[in-house]
Structure 1
Amino acid sequence: MKDDSRSKTSDTLSRRRAITAGSGLLAAGLAGCLGGTSAGGSGNQSNSPDSNDDSGDGPVAVASFFSFFDFGRKIAKDTPIQVRNLVPTGLHGHGWEPNASITRDIIEADAFIHVGKDFQPWADRAIQTLKDDNVDTQLINVRKGVELADLAATLDPEEEGVGEGRGKDPHFWLDPQRAKKSVENITEGLVELAPDHEDELRENAKTYKSDVLQRIDEDYQKIFDAASRKVVQLAAHNAFQYIGVRYGVEMRPLVVNLAASGDVKPSDIKEAKQVIEENDIKYIGNGVFESRKPAKQLLAETQVKAYFPVTPYAGVREDWVENNWGYEEIAYKINMPTFEVVLGNKTPEEAGPDGWAKEWRNFE
């Protein structure tokens, strides 16, 4: 029996290829919107050996952010849908500006999974260009219907965030319960993309929410419930407040900006030193994809003995890709062990998998 949805997808992809090949105006227009300082090349990489993209003949959904690429590929498991990550390996998904080579990936995709307005300016510009040129790439907004925390709950209420009035903190996916809503949004989008596979998509999403996100939430809760200290100092940008909101702990980022590219000011270092002294902090977290210099300064000038890794699930290292790590693996192998250590629950040697302390202590 002929698969009508696959035939329709092939026609749509062929039309998009014709558009990109034949319309210099459209390609140039989107390239201009996406152009800018770029640390990466083409976004045409899966960031995983298991990204549903082996056959090359299924609907394609491209994602603007690693976490939601990972959710998408888990939802699309065992279906023809191909889910691809646009952010190159080794780069942070918030603050990255792609070059024009990503244009073709977005135009040719059947769906674009994005994090909502005002979070990634390049994605906003790409979406506007798709609309202006009447390209029928389906848009999947992972933030739709998610209850966001006030930006006032962070340390820099003067900075513009997202949402109505731009007064909300965008990093909701760090809260596993809020992340469930994004899984539902992606699921609805993929069901629309491949209705013949609705049952598999919904079952995969249900399993991921109950078996993965719920377990992560419960295990995080145990870590923070066991802690006598309720303050965490991070040599990282202001991306971890949803952890604090969810589990009742004060997250103190060194960089109060929302993007990882924010500068560290002398006043930031001074305030961090005070927090470290007042709370008798021996270990701090450092952003995996951020500068090590501020953490090393605190190491040299305070009682801090070492820094260990944290990440807001916004990017991946090459070895993580090789080991097929996603949101779940990063939670258990990176963030949770560090929170155990910085909260004083465990010594570095007691935390994480075998060899974790040696690998990650004052990592470069």
Structure 2
Amino acid sequence: MTRRDALRAGGVGALVGVAGCTALPSAPSRADDSSGGPVAVASFFSFFDFGRQIADGTPLTVENLVPTGLHGHGWEPNASITRQIIEADAFVHVGKDFQPWADRAIQTIRGDDVETALINARKDIDLVDLAASLDREEEGVGAQRGKDPHFWLDPQRAKDSVDNIADGFAEVFPEHAEAFRENAEAYKSEVLDQIDSDYEAIFDRAERDIVQLAAHNAFQYIGVRYGVRMRPLVTSLAASGNVKPADIREAATVIRDNDIRYIANGVFESQRPARQLLRETAVEAYFPVTPYAGVRKEWVAENWGYEEIAYNINMPTFEIVLGNETPEAAAPSEHWLEQWRNFEPI
């Protein structure tokens, strides 16, 4: 049984017994941490998950600051989150100009000489240009204006962020540096390289080279990595961006010209535009995708991380929308199909 088959067959529990694989560590909250050990907090789900993989087996606890059910980009926390950051030993963030609240917290840390170590998961990672349809002056586009910040969707770039986090942890907690780096190497080779290989197989098998998304522009790195055109309906980087009549008309043309029957829609985004395309085009259904920016309650209950979301949400949907498989064949289970075909908002 492959790693992908194990994940799709039984979620996290099915990984137990697969060679070289173990279930994910839990995601403890501050209230659950009675050890008094070191704590690192993360501003974004993906890097929280990478961090807890790197810290596995050490006294370091890693916490996700973004509440369950919320998208990591565009959320504005209250003052209690800043206190959590100040009280933590380390703060893993996504770099400048992506999460304004995180930027403000970093300014507070630097201005008040707070001892919380700052770990930039995006350090020295090459970013691609924004899609031509996007406003170059839009706030929150990465390290430089005109760059797309969603690099972690490319598993190879994600590996660089794993190294950045491991190096940051090793600098703050040098007594566990070897464990951090060993865990990072194992996660990169056993998980991210496998995800990369499985994504590549999906896109190589496809006869169509275009995916219509009823979602915001967060998936360009998938397109760049695997040679497919990602067509977002919402052309801004913000998940709450508005859909214009011209966007709907252009999507309808793409759907007609490419004989598209199924489209993808963001799990944490509005379903109204997708439903409009169902009404006005030949599209039969929409299915879920997510840029790993947030988690649902049931994903937390099953201890899902970046890996589980890739295999149980994004990959089945890409198989469907590329026309590789029918929804019935691509779905991990009948329950998945019932839950995610034209799914309801959270």
TM value normalised by structure 1: 0.84
Residues 197 and 49 of structure 1: is their aligned pair in 2 closer, same or farther, counting only changes over 3 Å? Answer: closer
Note if contact 1:49-1:321 (Cα within 8 Å) is conserved in structure 2: no
Note if contact 1:110-1:138 (Cα within 8 Å) is conserved in structure 2: yes
User: Where does structure 1 lack aligned partners over 5 or more consecutive residues?
Assistant: 1-47
- Give me the whole-angstrom Cα distance separating, in 1, the residues matched to 2:304 and 2:143: 34
Deviations 1:257-308 (A, max 9, x none): 1111111111111111111111100000010000011101101111000000
Does residue 51 (structure 1) correspond to residue 27 (structure 2)? The answer is: yes
- Give me the whole-angstrom Cα distance separating, in 1, the residues matched to 2:135 and 2:82: 34
Q: Counterpart of 1:349 in 2: which secondary structure?
A: helix
Correspondence 1:18-57 to 2 at 5 A: 50-51=26-27, 54-57=33-36
- Give me the whole-angstrom Cα distance separating, in 2, the residues matched to 1:334 and 1:198: 33
Q: Counterpart of 2:330 in 1: which secondary structure?
A: coil
Does residue 156 (structure 1) correspond to residue 134 (structure 2)? The answer is: yes
- Give me the whole-angstrom Cα distance separating, in 1, the residues matched to 2:79 and 2:67: 14
Q: Counterpart of 2:327 in 1: which secondary structure?
A: coil
- Which of 97, 100, 103 is the aligned partner of 2:79? 100
2:233 equivalent in structure 1: 254
2:110 equivalent in structure 1: 131
Residues 119 and 176 of structure 1: is their aligned pair in 2 closer, same or farther, counting only changes over 3 Å? Answer: same
Does residue 83 (structure 1) correspond to residue 59 (structure 2)? The answer is: no
Q: Counterpart of 1:166 in 2: which secondary structure?
A: coil
- Give me the whole-angstrom Cα distance separating, in 1, the residues matched to 2:253 and 2:79: 45
Does residue 263 (structure 1) correspond to residue 242 (structure 2)? The answer is: yes
Letter of the 1:362 partner, please give it. Answer: N
Note if contact 1:52-1:77 (Cα within 8 Å) is conserved in structure 2: no
Correspondence 1:1-364 to 2 at 5 A: 50-51=26-27, 54-151=33-130, 153=131, 155-160=133-138, 162-163=141-142, 165-355=144-334, 356-364=336-344
Deviation at 1:163, TM superposition (A): 4.7
Letter of the 1:280 partner, please give it. Answer: D
Q: Counterpart of 1:315 in 2: which secondary structure?
A: coil
Residues 224 and 362 of structure 1: is their aligned pair in 2 closer, same or farther, counting only changes over 3 Å? Answer: same
Letter of the 1:174 partner, please give it. Answer: L
Larger mean CA deviation between 236-245 and 261-270 belongs to 261-270
Letter of the 2:167 partner, please give it. Answer: E
Note if contact 2:42-2:91 (Cα within 8 Å) is conserved in structure 1: yes
Larger C-alpha radius of gyration, 1 or 2?
1
Q: Name the count of aligned residue pairs.
A: 316
RMSD: 1.4
Q: Counterpart of 1:211 in 2: which secondary structure?
A: helix
Letter of the 1:245 partner, please give it. Answer: V
Deviation at 1:157, TM superposition (A): 4.6
TM value normalised by structure 2: 0.89
Deviation at 1:154, TM superposition (A): 5.0
Note if contact 1:116-1:141 (Cα within 8 Å) is conserved in structure 2: yes
Letter of the 1:363 partner, please give it. Answer: F
Q: Counterpart of 1:232 in 2: which secondary structure?
A: strand
- Give me the whole-angstrom Cα distance separating, in 2, the residues matched to 1:212 and 1:175: 13
Q: Counterpart of 1:308 in 2: which secondary structure?
A: strand
Deviation at 1:164, TM superposition (A): 5.3
Percent identity of the aligned residues? 72
Letter of the 1:360 partner, please give it. Answer: W
Deviation at 1:104, TM superposition (A): 1.3
